C-alpha cells in the first residue's frame, strides 16, 4: 500500500467541475468530511432528497445518502448530511461518503477518515505530501 503523509492534496470530482483540495488524513475519524457552505436540503417530486451546497464559490447538488451523527471533542454530537463523492489520490479513484460541514476554522477543507483510507493507504504522521496528484 502507498504511504501517505498526514496531509495530502486530493482531487474531487463534482458535477461539472474537478477540484484539488488539501486533505487531512485522520485515522482517528471514521467518516470523511468536506467543507461546504449554505447547506440546504430539498425533496424533489419523486421524494428523493438532494443536498445543495457551495464549495469554492460554486454551487452543487448531490443526492443525500444518509445523515451521520458526529461526536465532537468537548461538544455535543452534530447531525450532518452525507453525500457520495469520487475522489482521487496517487492515481487511485475512490468513491466515498463525506459529511458536509463548514470547515473554515480547520486547517484543510477536506478530511479523509478511516473508512476512506482503509485497505488503500498507510499514513505516516511524520510526513506530508508524499503521494502524487491525480491527472
Higher pLDDT, 86 or 46: 86
Residue 129 lies in a domain: no
Looking at the structure of the chain, the number of domains it has is 1
Could you tell me the residue range of the domain that residue 55 belongs to? Answer: 3-124
Coil, strand, or helix at residue 13?
Answer: strand
CA–CA separation, 67 and 107 (whole Å): 24
CA–CA separation, 20 and 4 (whole Å): 16
pLDDT of residue 78: 86
Give residue 72's pLDDT band: very low, low, confident or very high (50, 70, 90). confident
pTM: 0.92
Residue 96 lies in a domain: yes
Residue 135 lies in a domain: no
Pairing between β-strand 3-5 and β-strand 122-124 as defined by DSSP bridges: parallel
In CATH, what number is assigned to the domain containing residue 112? 2.40.70.10
CA–CA separation, 16 and 14 (whole Å): 6
Amino acid at each position: 500500500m502507498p504511504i501517505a503523509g498526514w496531509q495530502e492534496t486530493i482531487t474531487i470530482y463534482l458535477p461539472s467541475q474537478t477540484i484539488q483540495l488539501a486533505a487531512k488524513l485522520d485515522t482517528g475519524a471514521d467518516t470523511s468530511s468536506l467543507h461546504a457552505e449554505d447547506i440546504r436540503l430539498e425533496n424533489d417530486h419523486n421524494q428523493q432528497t438532494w443536498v445543495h451546497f457551495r464549495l469554492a464559490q460554486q454551487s452543487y447538488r448531490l443526492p443525500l445518502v444518509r445523515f451521520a451523527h458526529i461526536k465532537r471533542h468537548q461538544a455535543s454530537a452534530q447531525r450532518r448530511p452525507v453525500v457520495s463523492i469520487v475522489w482521487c489520490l496517487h492515481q487511485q479513484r475512490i468513491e466515498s461518503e463525506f459529511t458536509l460541514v463548514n470547515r473554515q476554522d480547520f486547517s484543510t477543507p477536506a478530511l479523509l477518515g478511516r473508512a476512506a483510507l482503509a485497505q488503500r493507504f498507510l499514513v505516516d504522521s511524520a510526513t506530508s505530501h508524499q503521494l502524487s496528484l491525480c491527472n
